[in-house]
Structure 1
């Protein structure tokens, strides 16, 4: 799996993001390209902001038991799979603004590096290893970039 902590892999990811245009259409699913970019930004907002409320103890337990392994392993997501409510983007989004935010988030993750993320507490799953953080970020981005054919 490509590494969000490797400059070469990050360059390839950002190249794929830069191939998107406001007229890009999905191969599956219902999100417009701006909504997809905003959706991808939620993963980073949960790391870098307090915008999204953290789940309570019970919900965090459920997420760790039922969702974590689907998110942090290398197994790819299925097309049109279910998403958490915080990731559902219903309103139109500014393509250029969301694209710039996503690239900034990807670069911020690279700059902070593996040591920053090793054992870092995730919003929903508790502490994650560097590999789990990488899988979560990389797999999610790849899924949605493939959704839009890039």
Structure 2
């Protein structure tokens, strides 16, 4: 797995985002490409500390167990549930959403580990830099594969 912090790995993710068009169809799921671009911004904003989410009882009970299950080289499964704060109901502007996601992704390579302001994930709990890297990479990769790039 590539690293979101590594200059080359970061550029590889950005190149995939740049391949998307407003009419790129999803291979699975219900989101449009514009909704996906905004959806992918939300977990990045959580680790950057610009989106604050509260932990719930489900996080307390199951967060660490699920974190262990999703770790490792296997990509995320299709049609996994998402937290309500990451659901995008409107149809955002494609170009704006694409640029905003690219700008957020670039920060990982520009600032390195200093980009992570929030060491605690609202569902998974305390996260190491390697865990943040893996989670962000796999989430972006999952949705880019969803749209065939």
Q: Give the TM-score taking structure 1 as reference length.
A: 0.87
1:119 deviates by 9.0
1:71 deviates by 4.4
1:63 deviates by 4.5
1:133 paired with 2:132, answer yes
Matches of 1:33 and 1:118, distance apart in 2: 28
Q: Which moved more, 1:120-129 or 1:110-119?
A: 110-119
Local SS of the residue matching 2:88: coil
Unaligned runs of 5+ in 2: none
Partner of 1:61: 60
1:64 deviates by 1.9
Partner of 2:44: 44
Count of residue pairs the alignment pairs up:
149
Q: Which moved more, 1:75-84 or 1:99-108?
A: 75-84
Partner of 2:120: 121
Matches of 1:84 and 1:2, distance apart in 2: 25
Deviations for 1:62-107, whole angstroms, at most 9, x for unmatched residues? 3423432344443311111222222211111111111111111111
Matches of 2:14 and 2:115, distance apart in 1: 21
1:15 paired with 2:26, answer no
Partner of 1:91: 90
Partner of 2:75: 76
Partner of 1:6: 6
Q: Give the TM-score taking structure 2 as reference length.
A: 0.87
